[in-house]
Structure 1
């Protein structure tokens, strides 16, 4: 019985360490930083596009 509990604890610790390593690798990668920059640029473009639409609607009315 004690052996099974020990194996389960080791299994859980292994997956916790594995998830920390993978998360750290993703956070430190240059690709994720580029994606963050790209997402912020897309948000800015959407805001500008919505402002342009408001001017067009105001001119038509």
Structure 2
């Protein structure tokens, strides 16, 4: 059997990332200024990378 040596995030960690993503998406809907928009998009990229790492832990 395949054994992964890296621990998988707990479900609460995934739930927290999804909650953070929803909050960031909501902030984008409020038409932020250009600087804030860039920061929100950067944070969204980080959250997405972490969520993708749950599926593929070798990518983190």
TM-score scaled by structure 2? Answer: 0.40
The structure where helix makes up a greater share of residues is: 1
Whose Rg is larger? 1
Higher relative contact order (CA closer than 8 Å, sequence separation 6+) = 2
